[in-house]
Amino acid sequence: MNKKEQHRILFVCHGNICRSPMAEFIMKAMVHERGLDDRFHIESAAVSTEEIGNGIYPPARSCLSFHGIPFDRSRTAWQIRRSDYDRFDLIICMDRSNLRWMKYIIPNDPENKIHLMMSFAAGTGAADVADPWYTDDFETTYRDLTLGCSGLLKLLLEED
């Protein structure tokens, strides 16, 4: 990625009520802590339509609050569209299932914008961010997302 005025990042998960909004607000907090808010635009979206219009899942909100991560309580889930490929520099999927869904929404990735979140979490050996919808383990998800966001931010700042 070339040096740019603003990095535009979209985090994506299945329903956009757990992992991707957690990643959105964790990354925003990391960026804010470094005083880089004006250099980043960060959002999150879903690959499915199941949760469109719903807010962040309450246990995900609790986890963010427990860790002191501010979030927008009015934020609601929305589905990624093909046109979002042009709006964002990076589209970060939480797991391989999300990647498969993405191929129906955005069939081609000529600019290599679509990645797995854990590909930025060096040394974990994990391919997917743990899905708390099924495990109810929001702490493991928080850890995965923190590692992924830290690695992504480090990479982007090194490239600037």
Q: Which of 18, 84, 93, 131 is catalytic?
A: 131
- Cβ partners under 8 Å of residue 48, min gap 6: 14, 15, 79, 101
Q: Which of 13, 18, 93, 149 is catalytic?
A: 13
Residue 158 parent element (H or E): helix 138-159
Q: Is 111 left (phi over 0), alpha (psi -120 to 50) or beta?
A: alpha
DSSP 104-153: HHS---TT--EEEGGGGSTT---SS---HHHH--HHHHHHHHHHHHHHHH
- Answer whether 2's CB lies under 8 Å from 122's CB: no
Q: Which of 18, 19, 93, 149 is catalytic?
A: 19
Query: Catalytic: 13?
Result: yes
For residue 160, the 8-state DSSP code is: -
Token readout for 113 is 């914008």
Instruction: Write out the catalytic residue numbers.
Output: 13, 19, 131
